[in-house]
Amino acid sequence: MSLIPSFFGNRRSNVFDPFSLDAWDPFEGFPFSTAVANLPPSARETRAIANARIDWKETPETHVFKVDVPGLKKEEVKVEVEDGRILQISGERSKEQEEKNEKWHRVERSSGKFLRRFRLPENAKLDQVKAAMENGVLTVTVPKEEVKKPEVKAIDISA
């Protein structure tokens, strides 16, 4: 969850999820929540990108993160793995500058910075993380260590 509310629907996350480092806002969804009321106008304009949407799925071999970053180039997005198995995804969309001869009728696209952090499980291979961007979707793939099945040895029972 985020301290900045989203007006694009609820996220599929759990407040009690030990892997999510997002802060939970109990007033999320209220039209005039305290988080938004205390922000300067420039920060209110960036609320949509500040809360970049991320899906995290786990397969038997990998953890896959998909991040919606429409309109951003790969140079504007950064993927890092910090000490303590923290995956950090961040970026920034610059605000378009108004020219003297231009008149804006509507500005709805968001601008500003976003930052999302996730604690990876212990079975993550941190040295093999890969990222790719296609059609405004960043895909981060984190391979998992193979779970070794315990070796079972049959013991003969003597009479």
pLDDT, one tens digit for every residue, the chain (159 residues):
444 444 444 444 555 555 555 555 555 555 554 444 554 444 444 444 456 889 999 999 999 999 999 888 999 999 999 987 999 999 988 877 777 788 878 877 777 888 999 999 999 999 999 999 999 999 999 999 987 778 888 899 997
Domain extents in the chain: 42-95+110-143
Give the separation between CA 7 and CA 31, rounded to whole angstroms.
Answer: 9
Give the separation between CA 58 and CA 60, rounded to whole angstroms.
Answer: 7
Give the separation between CA 71 and CA 109, rounded to whole angstroms.
Answer: 10
Give the separation between CA 22 and CA 30, rounded to whole angstroms.
Answer: 18
Q: State whether CATH 3.30.70.2860 applies to domain 42-95+110-143.
A: no
Q: Is the pTM of the predicted complex or chain greater than 0.95?
A: no
Check residue 2 and give its pLDDT. 46
